[in-house]
Structure formats: C-alpha cells, structure tokens
Homo-oligomer: A and B are copies of this chain.
Amino acid sequence: MAVGLGAFPNIPVIEGVRFATAEAGIKKPNRKDVVLFELAEGATVAGVFTQNAFCAAPVRVCREHLTDSTPRYLVINTGNANAGTGKRGLEDAKATCVAVAELMGCEPSQVLPFSTGVIGEHLPVQKITTVLPAAKAALSAEGWENVGRGIMTTDTLPKGAYRQLELDGKTITIGGISKGAGMIRPNMATMLGFIFTDATVEQSVLQALLSQTVNQSFNRITIDSDTSTNDSCVAVATAAKGASTINSLESDDGKLFAAAFLEVMQELAHAIVRDGEGATKFVTVEVTGAAQQSDATKTAFEIAHSPLVKTALFASDPNWGRILAVVGRAGVEGLDVDNVSLHINGCQIVENGGRSPSYTEEAGQEAMNPQEIHIKVDLGAGQESDTVWTTDFSHEYVTINAEYRT
C-alpha cells in the first residue's frame, strides 16, 4: 500500500563502499536477513541513535565503537532486534563484531552492529556468523537494491535515494538506504538509515551535518508515535574520490554538499512514511506563524499523532474540527484561537479561528481526495515554522500490528 513510492533508484557506485547480503534464516528461511558493508580505509563515519532509554544492545555497542575507533565494517541483521535482552544481548552483539573482525582482519571495535525485528528474544549469533564468509565472498560495489531489500522488515518496498554534485572538479555521489514502516517516531535518529558518499569530509563536520539534517528529515516523520529501541542512522564519507576535504559547512563546497545531503536524507525519510504500515496517504503537516519553533514542532506532531485526524484522513473526510481540536490542546502558551487559519491542499477552510465564509464542503472534499495531503496551520503568532510528515490510520494498520510481533 506504499503511497507514491516509485521503483528503487539506480544508485551509482559510491567509491570506497562494498556490500553483500546473506540468508541466515534468523526468523524465516529463504530471506536475505544479513547485510555486510565494507568501508574504505580513511573513511569518516558519523552516527545518531535512538534516545529510547530501553535502547537495544547493538545501539550501545555502536556508540562505544564509534567513540573508540574508526569503523571499517557495518553488520546488519533483520528478524531480531536484540533489545530487552540484558547483558547477554550486549555479549551477543559484541560476539558478532568479533566474528566479523576475525574474518576481515580488523579490530572488533571497527565493526558497528545493527539489529531490527522482534524485541525480547536472544540474537541467534551462530546463524549470523555462519553466513559471514559467504557475505565476504560476495562483497561488491554494485546492487544497492539488494541491500535495500536486505534490511526490510514490515516494509513492502526497499528504500533508497541519491544525489550527485560536482566538487573540486569531481563527480561526488551521496546515496543511502533506509527501512522502517511501524514503531516510527524517531527521536534523534531513525529506524535504520545508512548514507554513503565518496566525498572527503572531516569526521566532526560529517557528524554535525548528520545531526543537523536528521532534524529536518528522520526526526520529522512519524507513523504511530512509537519511538523504536533500535533507531540508528549512520553517515559514511569514504574520501575515495580524492576530492579536497570538506572541513566546514559554511564554505561554498560545504553548503553545496550539505544541501544535497539533506535532499537524500529527506527522500529516505519520506520513503519510510510512504511505506508506513497500512498507509493510504502521504501527509505533510506544516505549522507556520508560531511565536517559537517548538510551538510549531509540537503542534505539527500532535496533529500527525491524533488518531481522530488520522482516521479522518483515511476516510478522505475534510473533518477540520478534529484538526482545530488538536491545535487547541497542543499546549501552545498564549494561543489566540481567533488568529488561527487552516488550509488543506491550498483550500482555505478556517480563518480567524472559525470556518472561512468562502469554504464549501465540496471544496473540502476535493482537497482531501488526493493521496498527497498538505495540511497547513498558521498560528498567527509569529514567524517560526516546522514541518512533519506522516500517514493516515487505516484498518490495515490495525491488522498488521495485531498480527505482527515487533
């Protein structure tokens, strides 16, 4: 039921990155459920991770390894989240790193582990380590769609995005993959997102760029308000193109690179929403005219989380009273409701806090019919704004989550 999600893009080779998938039978047989990435020596790596206090064991290990060394390998499994698994969970995640390190000839701290799937069951380490030699033998710089598929769980389609730009006379590529369809309300990171570039970027600059753009992409999407235990987003700059080093986001090259990087991040984040569990609509919630940005952010998220708004979206019902009710309870201090206006897909429904004189039910119905819905609320209190992307709430969401064990 993915909304407006096209074919997987033809991501070109990103020099300095090789990858492979393997079938370990972690949850189901005959499914690619392990992905191995190899990064060129000299690559810089940045990461952001879930703020959930019950963060998964691999998230803890990633944080530790990113502090201790420069990663050379990423190992990802689906079918098991290795979360809520206590001390043994940490041992299992580290054992996976040790196995990769022994096979590839690096330090265990140079391996970052990622897991996604059911919470509360122990990781079948043996199944993973058994297929690592096959993955090593299959390492290649081509076939991004395969690794996109290799990290899917309830996703119906693989998700990828890329941009190219000229820097220092060289064609630089920024590309990545993401996954996630439920338990999506990232907080400082996303379910799983991996962005790669063959540019040369100082680690501190890469980390700053990742942290900044994640707040305009993955941290502004929500499907069901539930922040996962395993959210992780990693950026890798391989330096393999030999272009000059980006050491500031304020330089000309830095600005160009940052703009393209943000586009890739947003496209990957939107892809997760478009493939949201049971989604029939792709919804942009824009809140403008706020006295401070936090008012815009929280109002947009409250609208995006409201079950009543989401079920009305599913029904293509221009039920604007539900949106006003959410704006009113969103906790914006000093809100003057008489200044609030509301547009849906350009149709003005509310002005001065009440139904617009020009509004007709027919115009509202027409505005609500498309798959792509833009809800724009102006609080009439200032100049700040924010935007959040979400989906509707359908029978299919209930079916999926009453039947699938996350």
Contacts and interface: CB of A to CB of B under 8 A. Distances in A.
Contacts of A354: 84-86, 89, 120
Given A86-B352, A354-B86, A308 B51 contact: no
Interface residues of A, number: 62
A86 B353 contact: yes
Contacts of A363: none
Given A53-B327, A54-B327, A308-B224, A321 B398 contact: no
Interface in A95-114: none
Contacts of A399: 395
A137 interface: no
Contacts of A395: 395, 398-399
This protein's copies in its complex: 2
Contacts of A89: 354
A9 interface: no
Interface stretch (A199-207, A309-317, A368-376): A309-317
A119 B325 contact: yes
Contacts of A307: 224-226, 307, 393, 397, 401
A46 to B, nearest CB: 23
A394 interface: yes
Contacts of A228: 325
B321 A84 contact: yes
Interface string A321-353: 110111111001001011000000000001011
A398 B394 contact: yes
B403 A315 contact: yes
Interface centre among A81, A86, A311, A406 (most CB of B within 10 A): A311
A52 interface: yes
Contacts of A327: 53-54
Contact of A325 (B52, B328, B350): B52
A93 to B, nearest CB: 14
A308 B401 contact: yes
Contacts of A401: 307-308, 311-312, 315
A54 B227 contact: no
A328 to B, nearest CB: 3
A226 to B, nearest CB: 5
A114 to B, nearest CB: 17
A196 B302 CA distance: 35
Given A306-B225, A307-B225, A51 B84 contact: no
- Give me the 7 closest cross-chain CB pairs, A-B, nearest first: A119-B321, A54-B328, A86-B354, A315-B402, A311-B401, A227-B329, A52-B328
27 contacts: A52-B328, A53-B327, A54-B328, A54-B329, A84-B324, A84-B350, A84-B354, A85-B354, A86-B354, A89-B354, A182-B308, A183-B308, A183-B325, A224-B308, A225-B307, A226-B306, A227-B329, A229-B325, A307-B307, A307-B393, A307-B401, A311-B398, A311-B402, A312-B401, A319-B405, A322-B406, A397-B398
Given A89-B354, A395-B398, 16 more contacts: A53-B327, A54-B328, A55-B328, A84-B353, A85-B354, A86-B352, A120-B320, A120-B321, A120-B354, A182-B308, A183-B325, A187-B329, A229-B321, A229-B325, A229-B328, A307-B397
